[in-house]
A and B are shown apart, each in its own frame.
Chain A
Amino acid sequence: AQSVTQLGSHVSVSEGALVLLRCNYSSSVPPYLFWYVQYPNQGLQLLLKYTSAATLVKGINGFEAEFKKSETSFHLTKPSAHMSDAAEYFCAVSRGNQFYFGTGTSLTVIP
């Protein structure tokens, strides 16, 4: 069975500080992994996806994620937080046309 665990339902960082949002997956086969962002009153927007071509994946808005098979993790990072990064972030894993989402992490950016 596939599942995704996001540690920390709320994360607060100061503007300009490092953003680290954690995601661990359970999968018996190499997974397809994704990060999505959701701004208020909007749908989910794809930030990045793991393609297996490289363990470090770059996405939009300066975000990147590193796939670590030994830790079954796919944490999302951004070197310097911006006020516009405040949103809900979801990690997801897919197998075929089944997608499994984490419970989300709400990111607050403090000026």
Chain B
Amino acid sequence: ETGVTQTPRHLVMGMTNKKSLKCEQHLGHNAMYWYKQSAKKPLELMFVYNFKEQTENNSVPSRFSPECPNSSHLFLHLHTLQPEDSALYLCASSQIREYNSPLHFGNGTRLTVT
């Protein structure tokens, strides 16, 4: 399997639920990212991990909790979400310190909070 794989593709959860999004990259990259994509809004960077260490947290509410156990896996733990958190959550990876390395994206998880 190649590329960046995200599961599940679709998730519906109530505001009191706890769920997790999973991302796995098979590209041998050393950086992983979570982005949020909402309708009619620019891509929002949420978290960045370099070599499993979190290097960016763009003022994301604590109801979103990332976890990066190794350089190939990234999780986003969700709890007590709000309806405005409904969006497409995209995982990406890249090879930092490599000249002009682009981001490689997964197909995303479409999250609906009811």
- Point out residues on A near B: beta carbons under 8 Å: 32, 34, 36, 41-46, 49-51, 90, 92, 94, 96-99, 101-104
- Decide if A97 touches B102 in the complex (CB within 8 Å): no
- Point out residues on B near A: beta carbons under 8 Å: 4, 6, 31, 33, 42-43, 45, 48, 50, 55-56, 90, 92, 94, 96, 100, 102-108, 110
A50 to B94, CA, bound (A): 16
- The A interface, classified by DSSP as helix, strand, loop or mixed, is strand
Look across to chain A and name the residue whose beta carbon is closest to the beta carbon of B44.
A101
A14 to B108, CA, bound (A): 30
| 6 tightest A-B CB contacts, nearest first | A43-B105, A97-B96, A101-B43, A44-B105, A43-B107, A103-B42
Given contacts A34-B102, A96-B96, contact A43 B45 (CB under 8 A): no
A49 to B99, CA, bound (A): 11
19 contacts between A and B (CB under 8 A): A34-B102, A34-B103, A36-B105, A41-B110, A42-B107, A42-B108, A43-B4, A43-B90, A43-B106, A43-B107, A44-B90, A45-B105, A94-B103, A97-B31, A97-B50, A97-B55, A97-B94, A99-B45, A102-B42
